Chains A and B, each alone.
Chain A
């Protein structure tokens, strides 16, 4: 009796695990989730489960994003999903460090990055290779 109960419990555990994994497949996503994660439709089912869970968490906020944020989100999803877990963790740490800067310092960094981006855009338009910010005096 006891052995059969344990067996039944284990079978239920296995089925629930399979059911949970299945609920994260692309076909099982809601239309809203598919719209939010559209750039990943081809590789979604190949992504690790933990990564899919995290992406689904971010996708919950998609409907509340501004038009620009939605565009950025879609553009960055593929690159973000291709990073290794270590690269993503390093990016999180950099973001947190940036966020912990005093507001005036943060604005300075933002300004520098925008200037560099503008320079890069101008240089690529004129055909001259861009100089990295770190190489500048």
Chain B
């Protein structure tokens, strides 16, 4: 007598068995699968970040700056970026005004054309 297992037969048996399972068992299995997948993806994303920086980014940040100071520093950086942006925009505006003034003062068209 041979005890060889036919994979197709096993699959058939499993499918039949799955159809005969009660609803509670099926939902418990579905939940367990989803939890396992969720944990797997979380682990993958953290390990990717860790590989990129050499350390966990959260721990690295915590070691440099205390947790309570982090929101203040983030707010300070945002304000600094806003100030720098505004100052850059103002410089561009001023430059445009200076260029126009120079053009009016030197253009071949008389100044009276532009001045009421």
Please say whether chains A and B are actual partners in one complex: yes
Give the contacting residue for A95; candidates B98, B103, B108; CB below 8 A. Answer: B103
Residues of A in contact (CB 8 Å), total 28
**Are A87 and B116 in contact (CB-based, < 8 A)?**
yes
> Nearest CB to that of A92 among chain B residues?
B100
Interface bin, chain B: 10 to 19
CA distance A79 to B105 in the complex (A): 10
> Nearest CB to that of B113 among chain A residues?
A113
CA distance A82 to B97 in the complex (A): 17
**Are A91 and B105 in contact (CB-based, < 8 A)?**
no
- B102 is an interface residue with CB less than 8 A from chain A: yes
Q: Residues of B at under 8 Å CB distance from A?
A: 97-98, 100-111, 113-116
Q: Residues of A at under 8 Å CB distance from B?
A: 54-55, 57-58, 61, 65, 68-69, 72-73, 76-77, 79-80, 83, 87-88, 90-92, 94-96, 98-99, 110, 113, 117
